Amino acid sequence: MKKLLNITNIIAGATFCLAMSSCEDYLTITPTDRIVEEEFWQDKNDLNNAINACYKRLASDDILTKFVYWGEMRSDNFERSTETTSTGQVANIMNANLLPTYNVFEWTNMYNAINYCNKVLSHGKDIVELDESFNYGDWYPVRAEMIALRALCHFYLVRTFGEIPYVTKDYNDDSEELRQTQITQLQVLDSIINDLEEVKDAAMLNFGNTVQNKGRITKKTIYTILADVYLWRASYKAGNCHPFINRTIPSYNVLYTDGVASVPGDSATYSTSEAENDYRKCIECCDMVIDLAKTEKKKQLKNAEDNVKIEDEDLLEQNTSVLETLISTSNEGAYNSIFGTGNSDESIFELQFDGLTYENNMTENLYYNLSKSKVGTFTGSTSLFENIESTPNVTEPASVFTKTDYRRWEAFDYTGQGQTSYDIIKYVNSYFTVSTGLSTLMTDNTSKNLTIIRARNTSHDANWIIYRMSEVFLMKAEAMSQIYSDEENIHKAFNYVREVFKRSNPYAYSTSNNSSTAKSDSLDFNTFNDQESLEKLIMTERQREFIGEGKRWFDLVRYAQRRGSTEEMLKLLTRKYSTNSKSIQAKLADIQSLFSPIYESELKSNTWLYQNGVWEINKSSGRTDNL
């Protein structure tokens, strides 16, 4: 692993911290000259600077880019744009030709963010003795916040690479290299869960303002991360596929620690009950998030009576007031509130940008370049737009979108009939509405007369959303689909999916919809009344809900691990390959190939690391180490 940044870099990062609001203490950062570490940790202002730098590091362009590269690039959501060379690493990776020499797989920046968190965890508690205005009651929530942020970084890494170092020690200066070997995927997941379980109830419930409540780790955030990790670990155990053991590739899985050879790998066989326990923990964590969100929502209501009931759908931003809800819906629409204005009620955790002190340039570089009026690295997959489904009640849809779904045009741009490429405009556009049919209802998004009004975001101030309430609904539904087969519970899980679908398909549930077509436009439980069909619906709903948000590839990997095979996952992925789908299927037949190779420079810098086995065959340059 490359050398990690020292405390001077943390201070430099803090001086350019996230500009969430000039009047917030969270953002009031005093510029600091270069100082040695021993002189830094003196009072709570130093601590706050370091905390802010942790978030600033995670919101840097290099890490934001990795969120998309690692979580979207290999999926069926994107294609290579005309601005991207057909012979470069992006094109090769999207055709399942991965090499350890590609810098897309560099993980140093993520470990730098982890080191920032470890710095705070190592030195923050000392402030209690040095600053009378800071006590242990102040420190414990900070500790929980930093442990959770560190866990989130590790979770991105383990989903991408499979076996990684789990780092809890801070490193002090540029001359000190991180020399730590990988541990198994299960050991990483266990470590994340153990860390989060320890601190989950110590985190802040409310920082006192919306910017911090959405832009910093709260108790609600920690329970959401826990739900996600439990869901992943449950799927790993359910599949019993062990992607990183029992390989006959020479030199794989042999490393040296103090001269002693060892062979890592998880070879245990997990019972159904062990996987079910993790699915149940996922559900429990989701329920906690939902309960916390309902409590927050109730407090927002003026003159609310104690017996007022908040429904699940009240936790989602709505597109119209077609649905009778306790909470009055915004006229601007869900997209505009979530992705345009940002920090919506639905949001749980999002990285903050103001377009001035700190800009989000990633979406311009990868999605759509506003200043040059041209596409970035990627465009939307044409397979998502071909053969638009007339009804969502299909278990094997040719396309994920139906004719009443707003999200088809919230995510991608449509410029005319016969279009062969689709600009990615999610996060790029700040405003979206439809001017056709019944008011702002999307009656038929295949219509030639469809009029969509959008506003371009030229400020580079789009927050990057890590978690929002719709994901909690779908995580709970997914976990329920794996442990329940009775109609009552399957229907409860289905209802969570329906709530997410319903808000982006208001016409399907509108009384204005013709009764003869309303049933076809809306989700029908009779189509998804068993575990397998419900699981497929959830995969489809997650794709259309989170498209472009850096989640699809991880969903596909989790799906494959749960089934212990890539066969079903590849049926989804290869829809976008019109000419070489069989070649892609052959390259990705082994689950291990779904994880990325370790960047070769990391292997050379730290000889305690070993290459993910399937990529040992494909390495393009020599390496001399202890293996």
Handedness of CA 130, 40, 222, 265 (dihedral sign): negative
Residue 234 pLDDT class (50, 70, 90 cuts): very high
Task: Kindly list the distances between the CA atom of residue 446 and the CA atoms of 389, 403, 408, 420, 436, in Å, as whole numbers in the listed order.
Answer: 10, 6, 10, 15, 12
What backbone phi and psi angles, to 5 degrees, belong to 466?
-90, -45
368-369 and 374-375 beta bridge pairing = antiparallel
Q: Please state the rounded mean pLDDT for residues 399-421.
A: 80
Q: Exposed (0-12), middle (13-18) or buried (19+): which is 527, by Cβ within 10 Å?
A: middle
Amino acid at position 406, single letter = Y
What pLDDT was estimated at residue 55? 97
Mean local confidence (pLDDT), 410-433: 79
Q: Give 265-320 pLDDT, tens digit per residue.
A: 566 778 889 999 999 999 999 999 999 999 999 888 765 566 788 999 999 998 75
**How high is the pLDDT of residue 518?**
83
For 534-587, the pLDDT digits (tens) are: 999 999 999 999 999 999 999 999 999 999 999 999 999 998 887 888 999 999
pLDDT higher than threshold 80 for residue 330: no
Confidence of residue 350 (pLDDT cuts 50, 70, 90): very high
Please write the tens of the pLDDT for every residue from 115-165: 999 999 999 999 999 999 999 999 999 999 999 999 999 999 999 999 999
Number of C-alpha atoms within 13 angstroms, CB side, residue 208?
4
What is the DSSP secondary structure assignment for residue 338, as one 8-state letter?
I
Question: What residues have CB less than 8 Å from 392, skipping those under 6 apart?
Answer: 402, 405, 501, 505, 521, 522, 523
pLDDT confidence band for 230 (50 / 70 / 90) = very high
- The 8-class DSSP code of residue 96 comes to T
- pLDDT of residue 257 exceeding 50, the answer is no
- Round to whole Å and give the CA distance between 315 and 400: 24
**Model confidence at 9: pLDDT above 90:** no
What is the per-residue pLDDT for 72? 97
Measuring CA to CA, which residue among 542, 423, 389 is closest to residue 476?
542
* φ, ψ dihedrals at 439, nearest 5°: 55, -120
Distance, CA of 385 to CA of 419 (rounded, Å): 10
Report the distance separating Cα 362 and Cα 17, nearest Å. Answer: 17
Whether the per-residue pLDDT at 21 is higher than 60: the answer is no
Eight-state DSSP code of residue 395 = S
Higher pLDDT, 457 or 425: 425
pLDDT of 371 over the 80 cut: no
DSSP 561-586: HHHTSSHHHHHHHGGG-SS-HHHHHH
Helices and strands counted in the chain (H then E): 23, 10
Return the percentage of the chain with pLDDT > 90, whole number: 59
Read off the pLDDT of each residue in 251-264 and give the average, rounded to a whole number.
40
C-alpha distances in angstroms, 478 versus 221, 242, 253, 397, 495?
A: 19, 22, 33, 19, 12
Lowest mean pLDDT among 418-432, 441-455, 511-525, 538-552: 441-455
pLDDT category of residue 20 using cuts at 50, 70 and 90: very low
Is the pLDDT assigned to residue 331 strictly greater than 50? Answer: no
Q: 189 vs 63, 165, 483, 503, CA distance in Å?
A: 21, 12, 21, 33
Phi then psi for residue 481, to 5 deg, are: -65, -20
**pLDDT value for 382:** 87
Distance CA 416, CA 61 (A): 33
pLDDT at 25 over 80: no
- Is residue 23's pLDDT more than 70? no
Phi, psi of 167, rounded to the nearest 5 degrees: -105, 120
Q: Which of 182-186, 429-433, 579-583 has the lowest mean pLDDT?
A: 429-433
Place of tokens 């002190």: 357
Please state, in angstroms and rounded to a whole number, the distance separating the CA atoms of residues 153 and 109. Answer: 10
Percent of all residues in the chain with a pLDDT value above 70, rounded to a whole number: 80
Burial class (CB in 10 A: 0-12, 13-18, 19+), 245: middle
Place of tokens 């200043």: 371
With beta carbons less than 8 A apart as the criterion, state whether 411 and 428 touch.
no
Band (332; pLDDT cuts 50, 70, 90): low
3-state secondary structure of 627: coil
Q: Please give the Cα distance from 473 to 94 (Å, whole number).
A: 30
* pTM to 2 decimal places: 0.90
Task: Please give the radius of gyration of the chain, using alpha carbons only, rounded to the nearest integer.
Answer: 24
Share the mean pLDDT of the chain: 84
Q: Is 274 exposed, middle or buried (0-12, 13-18, 19+ CB in 10 A)?
A: middle
Tell me the backbone φ, ψ of residue 265, rounded to 5 degrees: 135, 145
For strands 378-380 and 78-80, give the pairing.
antiparallel
* 446 pLDDT higher than 80: no
Q: Which residue has the higher pLDDT, 409 or 415?
A: 409
Higher pLDDT, 539 or 422: 539
* pLDDT in the model for residue 416: 59
37 has pLDDT over 70? no
The pLDDT, as a whole number, for residue 75 is: 96
* Distances in whole angstroms, Cα of residue 541 to Cα of each of 100, 310, 471, 546, 551: 33, 24, 10, 8, 12
